[in-house]
Amino acid sequence: MGKFCHCNTLCVVCSVLGALAVATIVALWVVQLTFYVRPADPWDDHRLPPSLVPDSYHVTLWPRLHPDGHGMFIFTGTSRVRFNCSRDTNLILLHSDKLTLTSKDGHLVKLTAVSGSTPVIRKSWLHPTNQYLVVQLNGVLRAGEAYDLYTEFEGQLADDLEGFYRSMYNEDGVEKILATSQMHPTHARKTFPCFDEPAMKAVFHITLVHERGTVALSNGLETGQAFSYCPEVVDTVIDGSLVTRTTFEPTKRMSTYLLALVVSDYSNVRIWARKKAIDADQGELALNLTGSVLNFLETYYDIPYPLSKSDHIALPDFYFGAMENWGLVTYKEANLLYDVTISSNGDRETTASIIAHEMAHMWFGNLVTLKWWNEVWLNEGFATYVSYLGADYAEPTWDIKDLFVLNEVHRVFTIDALATSHPLSSEEESIQTPAQIAELFDAISYSKVGWNLKKYCSQHHWIDSKPKNQSTYLTSFAYGNTESSDLWEHLQQVNNNGISLPGKVNEIMNHWTLQMGFPVVTIDTRMGQLSQTHFLLDPESKPKSRSEFNYEWIVPIQWRKSSQEISLTWLSGRHALNNNMKTSGDEWLLANINITGYFRVNYDSENWDRLLNQLNTDHKVLPVINRAQLIDDAFNLARANIIPISLALNTTRYLHQETGYIPWKSALNNFDYLYLMFGKSDIYILLQRYLKKQVEPLFLHFKNITLDWVNVPEEHSDQYNQVNALWVACSTGVDGCQNLTRMWFRQWMEQPEISWIHPNLRATVYCSAIAEGGTEEWDFAWKMMKNSSVASESDKLRAALSCSRDTWLLNRYLNFTLDQDKIRKQDATSTIVSIARSVHGQMLAWDFVRRNWEYMFTQYGVGSFSFASLISGVTASFSTEEELSQLLQFKMDNAAAGFGSATTALEQALERTRANIRWVSGKEQEIRSWFLHETSSK
Ligand SMILES: *[C@@H]1O[C@H](CO)[C@@H](O)[C@H](O)[C@H]1NC(C)=O
Ligand SMILES: *[C@@H]1O[C@H](CO)[C@@H](O)[C@H](O)[C@H]1NC(C)=O
Ligand SMILES: *[C@@H]1O[C@H](CO)[C@@H](O)[C@H](O)[C@H]1NC(C)=O
Ligand SMILES: *[C@@H]1O[C@H](CO)[C@@H](O)[C@H](O)[C@H]1NC(C)=O
Ligand SMILES: *[C@@H]1O[C@H](CO)[C@@H](O)[C@H](O)[C@H]1NC(C)=O
Ligand SMILES: *[C@@H]1O[C@H](CO)[C@@H](O)[C@H](O)[C@H]1NC(C)=O
Ligand SMILES: [Zn+2]
């Protein structure tokens, strides 16, 4: 699945209370077992019993795109599932959620033995607590026999973005409804009764019944129409209305969560979208990319794409970035559609990397699937890593792979440094309920393993270039399910004649997957001493569980001295001595070159001084990724009280000479934390003054190379950094910046049909103009947002509207998020969070969330991911005792309703607030005097 948010702000939060996985391979000692009491009845257990294994489904569904007499949108359906019995049983248990069983003859469930005798049904009922349909029998199902279970049912085609749901858009003043689906991870059961676990793979025969003139899509090709874009469908009369019935070729053996269904009146080129969007060629980039990325991946994996078609569809209402349904990938509109004249370079990169991510899943995830959700990273880690390779293939001049550290590693570092983080692999039994499953889709599962895999695999050329036998893992488990030990075994085989490692692959990797967190490696260049400790952002926090590896890792350290070549040193165990790491004179030592390792680095203070000296004299001697890393490591070490904050701030003194995007972005992300903590204090002014001083040369640099903002910088990363330059210059008041953005925005207001503002710069120009402007600017931007037919453009405007400094406007905007006609449900959370990110919106957003929590909680679906990001987003700036007690009060007030998938996020918010309070009071004085010193000199 695609990350549900592609921004660099805090959109992802973890996690699951980490009970340690019992490694099947390494039978070391197990420190903490989740005490797991077997429930009394099988239907009280969240997991299906293993006695029945599905083989195939025949499902017919009929979504009604018009409300019935009671104003309800519904769908009806029938399903026949064939399953094999592997152990005698008198019980059939399958998932069914929010469905009503219907029947014309009084038998809600019909059972037939494929051969032999059929036991009589004693009793059947729905068990909503665990989303089951329970069928008890008088006789027994015999091991080795197959049975068919037939049901008819009705469900709601709600606008809840889960299961089979409805989405709405407006085209030329006409309101249009479409039916679409999101089964991942546990919503197939909301569409038809099924064995809804990823290892319960089966073949699906789908039929969709729909109004004439609409198009039906599913995973398989419309039957008998291979390679045709206009399926010939048969009209039939059902229940008195004339409809179309489209049947699809059976799927491959696959998991229920990969199923997809769409009924709409869309236009296509196998890129499906609103007719107007397709007419405007917004699907062209996606069409270009899907073809070339598919070819790239076929070669890369050395396995042909196994399906006869690959559909990609853009949906007006879709919560996640995208979903890799096999053969029918669904996207948020902004992620798939691209308008050459209106979209930015960032939009282009987003489209390329999300398409690459979803296409990578066609093999990792769909062909070979995780056994259970406790190892989500087996799907997502690979897809995340391979998405960079695919996007790099599509845009070879963009150096997209360089952005991995900034976009993925830094993001996951901040979360994985919390005591409430979780190991990549959780214990299978600790992940049971849909809410627990939902919580696992966090940065850790996506980004951490991506990096770890790269670390080991690229060295063996196992991933970066195609090895001879890489396919063994994918081919051995094709159409099946795996767990991490299977992967390590295959990696081991690949590596057997490869480079030497300080242990077996599984032994090394288990350190990284079975225990949470990562180390800070300290190098003392005076003695050549090396050591590692578990890096915790809050030094007073304690991990909830002990680790079977004692929070030690086997760490590959790439390092060099100023005068030497790169060396590789493995650190296993707490301490080591390496005489080569001693330095003398003004020679510096730099470790973790290009961040090939998942750890932070600290040095003795002399070496820090020498590195900073290098930055200040000729920063280009250090690789650009490491310049960013020195800043990020230093700020985080300072947050953990390992080094003084003034040392971290010192890493930013050279920025007035820096033009590189990655170091600037890294510094701004870290300053962002200071803004959150000190936005309401006198330090705010000092921060502004300092950044203004540092950014001015960058602003002038871009003014110069773009010939007064006329040209576009050549390099992709310069295009990004131009945005940073404008953003910081305007918000700190660099001369000429606000004048510029105000002028562009004014021109646009006067002549909205003319493209006055370059697409790359729009997000930041809109924000600056709305921040400086008043109701007139706000209302204009709102109107343009509602009228825009390009999703990425309306997303930019939606974000910019939160930049206002006007309390009344912000409050009104918050109110809009509860009105679906104004802000779509999928966008409500991110809108509230972006208001909460600004100094002016922080308190307003928190008050709003407190006031409306109960309403939102019941309206937005309990399994939804949005609550976690809502809680972490609105509490990000909390750093006072007053805010802490409000948060505790909030927890108490809503204890009865609970917090669903935000449960962990709330605990983390409390933990973070306490840490912030300690940190701010401990550092405030030092920070104030550092800024005073820096801004008063000269
Ligand atoms: C798609 O590819 C064609 C042919 O290479 C090219 O002319 C066109 O500009 C591409 N479209 C986009 C949006 O990149
Ligand atoms: C580090 O990354 C840069 C690209 O950012 C690359 O040019 C350079 O060769 C890399 N250095 C090493 C030692 O891998
Ligand atoms: C930060 O830089 C200033 C100016 O060079 C220096 O005086 C100070 O000692 C540095 N602080 C630390 C903690 O290194
Ligand atoms: C402006 O750009 C030109 C080349 O485009 C360069 O020679 C000059 O030094 C730049 N000036 C500044 C102030 O950066
Ligand atoms: C703003 O920019 C315009 C156009 O460059 C210029 O004419 C005007 O004098 C500037 N205004 C201020 C206040 O700097
Ligand atoms: C927002 O909604 C609340 C409650 O419905 C109302 O009291 C308030 O006046 C509204 N605020 C604005 C600015 O519309
Ligand atoms: Zn994914």
Three-state DSSP at 214 gives coil
**522 vs 535: CA distance, rounded Å:** 11
Beta bridge partners of 81: 57, 149
C-alpha span between 233 and 558 (Å, rounded): 61
Q: Where are the domains of the chain?
A: 44-265, 334-500, 519-650, 821-938
Ligand 3 neighbours, Cβ below 6 Å, are 644, 646-647, 650
Higher-confidence residue: 25 or 235? Answer: 235
The dihedral sign for the CA sequence 565, 568, 569, 571: positive
- pLDDT of 230: 32
Which ligand is closest in space to the CA of residue 3?
7
pLDDT confidence of residue 453: 54
pTM of the shown model: 0.85
716 annotated to a ligand binding site? no
Q: Answer for the pair 419, 541: CB distance below 8 angstroms, yes or no.
A: yes
**776 is known to lie in a ligand binding site:** no
Residue 233 confidence (pLDDT) above 70: no
How are strands ordered across the β-sheet holding 89-95?
89-95, 132-141, 121-127
pLDDT at 499: 62
Q: Whose CA is nearest to atom 6 of ligand 2?
A: 623
pLDDT at 9: 25
Taking the CA of residue 594 as reference, the ligand 2 atom at the shortest distance is: 1
Looking only at the bridges linking them, the beta strands covering 215-218 and 555-561 are unpaired
At 737-774, the pLDDT tens digits run: 999 999 999 999 999 988 889 999 999 999 999 999 99
What pLDDT digit, counting tens, does each position of 174-220 carry? 889 999 999 999 999 999 999 999 999 999 999 999 888 889 999 99
Compute CA distances 132 → 192, 533, 580, whole Å: 11, 46, 63
How far apart are the C-alpha atoms of 525 and 641, rounded to whole Å? 21
Answer whether 815 contacts ligand 5 (Cβ < 6 A): no
Q: Is 50 exceeded by the pLDDT of residue 553?
A: yes
Distance CA 133, CA 140 (A): 18
Per-residue model confidence (pLDDT) at position 38: 61
Q: Which residue among 594, 621, 717 has the greatest number of ligand 2 atoms within 8 angstroms of its CB, and so is best to mutate?
A: 594
Ligand with minimal distance to 611 CA: 3
Rounded Cα–Cα distance for residues 557 and 520 (Å): 12
pLDDT of residue 82: 98
| pLDDT attached to residue 17 | 19
Ligand 6 is surrounded, with C-beta below 6 A, by 808, 811-812, 815
Strand partners, 534: 519
Task: Using the atom order of ligand 6, give the atom closest to the CA of residue 812.
Answer: 13
Other Cβ atoms less than 10 A from the Cβ of 547: the count is: 19
Indicate which residue's Cα is closest to atom 3 of ligand 6: 815
Closest CA to 383 of 302, 476, 300: 300
Q: Which residues contact 24 (CB under 8 A, 6 or more apart)?
A: 483, 485
Q: What is the pLDDT of residue 443?
A: 62
Contacts of 188 (CB under 8 A, 6+ apart): 95, 163, 194, 196, 256, 257, 259
Whether the predicted pLDDT of 22 surpasses 60? no
Nearest ligand 5 atom to alpha carbon 742: 1
b/e map 25-38, b = 16+ CB within 10 Å: eeeeeeeeeeeeee
Hey, do 44-265 and 519-650 end up sharing a CATH topology, with the first three levels equal? Answer: yes
Reading phi first (left if > 0) and then psi (alpha if -120 to 50, else beta), residue 513 is in alpha
**Would you state the CATH architecture of domain 44-265?**
Sandwich (2.60)
Dihedral pair phi/psi, residue 156, rounded to 5°: -90, 130
Q: Is 90 in the pocket of ligand 5 (CB under 6 A)?
A: no
Element (H, E) at 576: strand 575-577
Distance from CA of residue 258 to its chain's centroid? 17
Gap from CA of 609 to ligand 3 centroid (Å): 8
> Pairing between strand 267-268 and 271-273?
antiparallel
C-alpha 733 to ligand 5 mean position (Å) = 14
Any alpha helices (H) in 255-399, and if so which ranges? 275-279, 284-301, 333-336, 345-361, 376-394
Residue type, 643: I
Only one residue has tokens 């899907």, namely 290
Positive or negative torsion for Cα 602, 603, 609, 615: negative
- Using the predicted structure, report yes or no on whether residue 874 has a pLDDT greater than 70: yes
Q: What region does 880 belong to: left with phi over 0, alpha with psi -120 to 50, or beta?
A: beta
Please give the full DSSP string across 3-31, using - where no structure is assigned.
-S--SSSS--------PPP--SS------
> Alpha carbon 61 to chain centroid distance?
30
pLDDT over 70 at 5, yes or no:
no
Confirm whether residue 511 is marked as ligand binding: no
DSSP classification of residue 86:
S
Tell me how far the alpha carbon of residue 702 lies from the centroid of ligand 4, in angstroms.
10
Give the 3-state secondary structure of residue 53.
strand
User: According to the CATH classification, is domain 519-650 in 2.60.40.1910?
Assistant: yes
Higher local confidence (pLDDT), 501 or 624: 624
707 lines ligand 4 (CB under 6 A): no
Ligand closest to Cα of 620 equals 2
Sorted by sequence, the CB contacts under 8 Å of residue 165 that are 6+ apart come out as: 157, 158, 159, 179, 180, 181, 182, 317
The C-alpha atoms of residue 875 and residue 408 are separated, in whole angstroms, by: 22
What per-residue confidence (pLDDT) applies to 379?
84
314, pLDDT greater than 80:
yes
Do 86 and 49 touch, CB atoms closer than 8 A?
A: no
Average pLDDT, the chain: 87
Measuring from each residue's beta carbon to the nearest atom of ligand 1, which residues come in under 6 Å? 284-285, 288, 340
Alpha-carbon distances, residue 147 vs 61, 197, 444 (angstroms):
22, 19, 41
Coil, strand or helix at 110: strand
Residue 245: which pLDDT band, with cuts at 50, 70 and 90? confident
Close Cβ partners of 7 (under 8 Å, ≥ 6 residues apart)? 830
Euclidean distance between CA atoms 439 and 15, whole angstroms: 6
- Asked if 389 contacts 300 with a C-beta cutoff of 8 angstroms, the reply is yes
Residue nearest to atom 14 of ligand 2 (CA): 594
Q: Would you say residue 582 has pLDDT above 90?
A: yes
Helix (H) or strand (E) segment spanning residue 513? helix 505-513
The set of residues, in sequence order, having a beta carbon less than 8 Å from that of 50 and lying 6+ positions away, is 86, 87
CB neighbour list of residue 616: distance below 8 Å, 6 or more residues apart: 653, 654
Task: Measure the CA–CA gap between 31 and 105, rounded to whole angstroms.
Answer: 56
Cα 163 from Cα 178, distance rounded (Å): 14
C-alpha 557 – ligand 2 centre gap (Å): 15
Task: List residues with catalytic annotation.
Answer: 358
Cis amide prior to 539 (ω within 30 degrees): no
The average pLDDT across 871-884 equals 94
Residue nearest to atom 6 of ligand 6 (CA): 815
Angstrom distances, CA of residue 737 to CA of 58, 311, 492, 728, 754 = 62, 44, 56, 9, 22
- Biggest CA–CA distance in the chain, Å, is 94
- Which residue has its alpha carbon closest to ligand 6 atom 7? 815
For residues 821 and 677, give the distance between their C-alpha atoms in angstroms, rounded to a whole number. 35
Tokens of residue 26, six digits: 């390494």
Rounded distance between C-alpha atoms, residue 867 and residue 905, angstroms = 8
Q: For residue 510, what are its two tokens?
A: 């288990």
Ligand 3 atom index nearest CA of 930:
1
Q: Does the bond joining 465 to the residue before it have cis omega, within 30 degrees of 0?
A: no
C-alpha–C-alpha distance, residues 290 and 229, integer Å: 17
Per-residue confidence (pLDDT) for residue 382, from 0 to 100: 80
Of residues 127, 129, 133, 128, the one with CA closest to residue 111? 133
Strand partners, 330: 313, 323
Contact 102, 154 (CB under 8 A): yes
Tens digit of pLDDT for each residue in 650-668?
Answer: 999 999 999 999 999 999 9
Residue of 157, 58, 46, 141 whose CA lies nearest to 92: 141
Percent of the chain at pLDDT above 70? Answer: 88
Ligand located closest to 394 CA = 1
Whole-number Å distance between alpha carbons of 402 and 410: 13
User: Taking the alpha carbons of 768, 773, 775, 781 in that order, is the dihedral positive or negative?
Assistant: negative
- Does residue 335 contact residue 350 with C-beta atoms inside 8 Å? yes
pLDDT at position 232 over 80: no
The CATH classification number of 334-500 equals 1.10.390.10
Indicate if the pLDDT at residue 465 is higher than 50.
no
743 lines ligand 5 (CB under 6 A): yes
Q: Are 764 and 726 in contact (CB under 8 A)?
A: yes
Q: How many residues does the chain have?
A: 938
Q: Which of 487, 229, 500 is nearest to 370 (CA)?
A: 487
496: pLDDT strictly greater than 70: no
pLDDT of residue 459: 42
Atom number, ligand 5, closest to the C-alpha of residue 739: 1
Residue 883: predicted pLDDT:
96
State the DSSP code for 408.
I
- What pLDDT is recorded for position 386? 83
Residue in 845, 839, 857 with CA at minimum distance from that of residue 814: 845
Query: Quick one: average pLDDT of 487-512?
Result: 77
> Tell me: the pLDDT tens digits for 35-54?
445 668 999 999 999 999 99
